[in-house]
Amino acid sequence: MRLIFLGPPGAGKGTQAQILRERFGAKQISTGDILRENRSNGTELGKLAENYMRGGVLVPDEVIVKMIEAELQQLQGGFIMDGFPRTVAQAQAFDALLHAQQTPLDAVVLFNADRDTLFTRLTARWTNPRTGRSYNTVTNPPRVPGIDDEDGSPLVQREDDKPETVRKRLDVYERQTAPLVEYYRASGKLVEVDALACVDDVTRELIRKVDALVHTAR
């Protein structure tokens, strides 16, 4: 399975990637998580990315593409790209990498949601920094506030989930990432899901549509 999850911040890409990763064993490659891990480890990449991420703007394409290239080199089997590509330049570079490896994409899943819902979801999100599992104090609260149901770790709120930064990230998506919808539609590999549905329904719709596309292509 080789998938891209495309959609605005807060649409549920990370939530669904985690579910599919556990169910099908494909590797979830979240550029945001890789950057955050580098930031906590104080690497050069982390230091470079820090100001961009804090401001809610994109890290430069060349940095991201190099990072993905390194990930692909270590990869065996399928992947779910969560948060990459985010610009047409990143998509073109990714196409070239996949072409060179002869590993074409199966599908690009577009998560559709409105801005007000995204804003509410992001400003109420709490995450386990160790596993990436995400909760929402409004729609999907943990059993004990601030504690992960699964492993008991303390949950944290992301710095870029402050209201003013969320607004900025949503603007950046519209300007720089939304053009990828037409880019991938033209490739015939785009499927769309209603990201406003509950988590289980989104998973069902996603699997059904990806399966249908893959079977038609065979």
Instruction: Determine if the peptide bond prior to 85 is cis (ω within 30°).
Output: yes
Element (H, E) at 82: strand 79-82
Among 51, 92, 112, 139, binds ligand AP5 (CB under 6 A): 139
Establish whether 218 is a catalytic residue: no
**Which tokens is 107 given?**
């599908």
Q: Which of residues 40-99 bind ligand AP5 (CB under 6 A)?
A: 52-53, 56-59, 64, 83-84, 86, 90
5, 109 Cβ separation under 8 angstroms:
yes
Taking the complex as a whole, the smallest distance from the CB of residue 218 to ligand AP5 amounts, in Å, to 29
Among 3, 4, 6, 32, binds ligand AP5 (CB under 6 A): 32
Rule CB under 6 A: say whether 133 interacts with ligand AP5.
Answer: no
Rule CB under 6 A: say whether 170 interacts with ligand AP5.
Answer: no
According to DSSP, the residues that pair with 144 across neighbouring strands are none
Establish whether 208 is a catalytic residue: no
Element (H, E) at 71: helix 61-74
E strand spans, 118-181: 125-127, 134-136
Residue 112 DSSP SS3: strand
Residue 94 DSSP SS3: helix
Among 3, 21, 31, 108, binds ligand AP5 (CB under 6 A): 31
Rule CB under 6 A: say whether 21 interacts with ligand AP5.
Answer: no
Contact positions vs ligand AP5 (CB under 6 A) = 7, 9-15, 31-32, 35, 52-53, 56-59, 64, 83-84, 86, 90, 121-122, 125, 134-136, 139-140, 160, 169, 197-199, 202
Residue numbers annotated as active site: 13, 86, 125, 158, 169
